Amino acid sequence: MSATTFVPPPFVEPGQEEGARSPTGFSREPIPPWRAGRPATRTLEIVGAWMLGILWVSPLLYAVWTAFHPAGYAVNFDLFAPLTLHNLVLAWQAAPFPRYFFNTTILVTFILVAQFVLCTPAAFAFARMEFRGRDTVFAIVLLQLMIMPEVLLVGNYRTLAQLGLVDTIVAIALPYLGSAFGIFLLRQTFRTVPQELDDAARLEGCSVLGRMLRVYVPLAKPTYIAYGLVSVSYHWNNFLWPLVITNSVSTRPLTVGLSVFASTDQGIDWSIITAATLMTSAPLLVAFLLFQRQFVQSFMRAGIR
């Protein structure tokens, strides 16, 4: 009987050989090359995200620091600097900010309600009604998205001057009541509603208006929330057109009032100006923090499909 020589198998790294088995007995697939340096890449991504986040939020942090500290600490970042509300009080008393807040609230509310009322039937018509030239009219509506508002400043001003609406809140809102973006977003959402629901409502005897209000509008609630937040934030911060069309304190919104307040040469220091800026933007910051989750989820559900 001849003796046989035992030859050990070559050493193979665990998981590198196809069909290799783990200690549990299950075969493991080879480790892809792109996963070899994944921990280091993930660390770099996290560090980069934190750096970008700090860079983005640094102006806001500086505004908060300057608004709640005395003027002598505007560029002196002492952790033991005293806190104060004196800058906010002086800013509130130095200009008619209550009137500016009232004008802005009335403005954004009027624009939002008018946009909902006008965009909803237009979007429903483009989504579910059949009429000659529907696609052509919709394409013309979308052309509004390609025109910068600054191009229409002179024409809009002349039209409103002929109507006698200069220096009114209606004049600020009028060019934005028909929103092509709102019509487009609602139309895309209405097109995702199952046709069976529309047919069932029609069999129940609902009119066109009834189907729109009872079937389509409730299902588009996330889209209305998302569009409402975008509309309010845009018109709350809008500056150029209100600056052109308003002349008095009784009609100025916050952005124009803050610009006039910051451009005065009465010795107002940087701390008070920063406090006024933070005071005017505080409602939007609070709204974003409160509705951030709903805002993101609304766009994820509504989407542009």
Q: Where are the domains of the chain?
A: 33-89, 92-302
> What pLDDT does residue 17 have?
47
Cβ-proximal residues to 261 (8 Å cutoff; 6+ apart), any chain: 91, 94, 95, 268, 273, 276
From the options 3.90.79.10, 3.90.600.10, 3.40.50.2000, 1.10.3720.10, give the CATH code of 92-302.
Answer: 1.10.3720.10
Distance set, CA 56 to CA 52, 61, 62, 283 (Å): 6, 10, 11, 19
Angle between helices 97-128 and 134-142 (to 10 degrees): 150
**Can you tell me which residue has the tokens 């003027």?**
71
Q: What is the pLDDT along the chain (305 residues), one digit of tens a residue?
A: 455 555 555 555 454 444 444 445 444 555 555 455 567 788 888 888 899 988 888 888 888 888 888 877 777 777 778 888 888 888 888 888 899 999 999 999 999 999 999 999 999 999 988 888 888 999 999 888 888 888 889 999 999 999 999 999 999 999 999 899 999 989 988 998 888 888 888 888 888 888 999 999 998 888 888 888 889 989 999 999 999 999 888 899 999 988 888 776 555 678 888 888 888 888 888 887 777 776 666 666 555 45
> What pLDDT does residue 160 have?
93
Distance set, CA 209 to CA 121, 197, 212 (Å): 8, 14, 5
Give DSSP secondary structure letters for 109-157. HHHHHHHHHHHHHHHHHHHH---TTHHHHHHHHHGGGGS-GGGGHHHHH
Amino acid identity, position 24: T
Q: Report residue 211: phi and psi, to 5°.
A: -65, -40
pTM: 0.77
Distance CA 234, CA 142 (A): 19
Distance set, CA 63 to CA 57, 67, 268, 272 (Å): 10, 6, 16, 10
Q: Report residue 268: phi and psi, to 5°.
A: -75, 125
Distance CA 115, CA 107 (A): 12
